[in-house]
Amino acid sequence: MAFVAALAALALAPGAALALLDEGRPACDYCRMIFDEHPLCGGEILTRSGARKIYDSMECMAAAVLTDSVPQRDIRAIALVDHAHPTMHVPLARAVLVHCPEMETPMGLSLVAFRTRADAQRACPSRAVRFIDWRGVLTHVDTTWFKGSLDVDRHVGAQRAKPRAAARR
């Protein structure tokens, strides 16, 4: 009986269930979605302790910041996947952030990052493209997912975190 109870507890534990589902493949640190083979929309947060948090979309990264899943004081650097060059990261402070309704992202808010404005314009040539800053990303996620209930201004400082050199994935 004790063995059955222990087995049931193990099966229901979030970490154990995810490990079984993702078979060792990386999963988003916010939503737990398993990454596609070539993620185009995510990024990473490097904490002051050296831990690396990965996200499948800019939306999940912004939500992690807004909900203090990664406390503001613990953020050392934020880098986003360059949508035009998905093996490269762009430090948040240097990234060109775009809301392009024509682009599909894993979480559906159509937020992507690029190294250059020209790359962004080529990827989303419509008149619907909107260049935004980190505050705009946080506001869009807060308004859409959290009904405007979170303190965006308190979390904008993440952009001021010391940028790390763009790195290969």
Q: pLDDT digits over 27-49, tens only? A: 899 999 887 755 678 999 999 99
pTM for this predicted structure = 0.77
pLDDT digits (tens, 9 = 90+) for 99-152: 998 888 889 999 999 999 999 988 887 777 899 999 999 999 999 999 999 989
Q: Span 68-96, mean pLDDT?
A: 93
Q: Which single residue is written with the structure tokens 């060059």?
A: 85
Is residue 51 in some structural domain?
Answer: yes
Is residue 168 in some structural domain?
Answer: no
Q: What is the pLDDT of residue 25?
A: 73
Distance, CA of 90 to CA of 4 (rounded, Å): 48
What DSSP string runs through the chain?
Answer: -HHHHHHHHHHHSHHHHHHHHHTT--B-TTT-PBPPSS-SS-EEEEETTS-EEEESSHHHHHHHHHTTSS-GGGEEEEEEEETTEEEEEEEGGG-EEEE-TTS--TTSS-EEEESSHHHHHHH--STT-EEE-HHHHHHHHHHHHSTT-S-HHHHGGGGGSPP----B-
Q: Which domain holds residue 124?
A: 27-160
- List C-alpha distances in Å: 119 to 48, 93, 125, 133, 166: 31, 17, 10, 16, 16
Is residue 20 in some structural domain?
Answer: no
Question: Total domain count for the chain?
Answer: 1
pLDDT digits (tens, 9 = 90+) for 2-19: 444 443 443 444 443 343
Candidates 88, 29, 84; CA nearest to 61 is 29
